[in-house]
């Protein structure tokens, strides 16, 4: 799966969580929680959505290193390789 495909999958889930957000304007190194005003419940839903969509189960211990879109895409690319 290519990085743009992973990014699209992430955006698909984020659109459900933050439907009013303009995702195209997110800087890939910006903190997702702050940029989209998402709380821990939304973040958990993002992790659940990624598991359903990409079949990747992200351990909770990895959450703190997955703050930005760029970090998330790189992490998923590594797991999906």
- Using CB under 8 A, list all residues that contact other proteins: 18-20, 22, 33, 37, 39-41, 44, 47-48, 51, 57-61
- Give the separation between CA 51 and CA 26, rounded to whole angstroms: 22
- Give the separation between CA 21 and CA 75, rounded to whole angstroms: 23
Nearer Cβ to other proteins (19/78): 19
Nearer Cβ to other proteins (33/74): 33
Nearer Cβ to other proteins (2/59): 59
Q: How far is the CB of 25 from other proteins (least distance, A)?
A: 11
∠14-71-6 over CA atoms, to 5°? 50
Q: In the structure encoding, which two tokens stand for residue 74, read together?
A: 């790189």
């Amino acid at each position: 799966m290519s990085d743009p495909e992973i990014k699209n999958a992430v955006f698909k889930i984020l659109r459900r969580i933050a439907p009013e957000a303009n995702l195209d304007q997110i800087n890939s190194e910006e903190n997702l929680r702050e940029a989209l005003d998402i709380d821990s419940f939304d973040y958990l839903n993002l992790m659940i959505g990624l598991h359903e969509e990409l079949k990747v189960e992200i351990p909770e211990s990895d959450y703190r290193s997955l703050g930005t879109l760029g970090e998330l895409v790189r992490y998923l690319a590594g797991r999906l390789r």
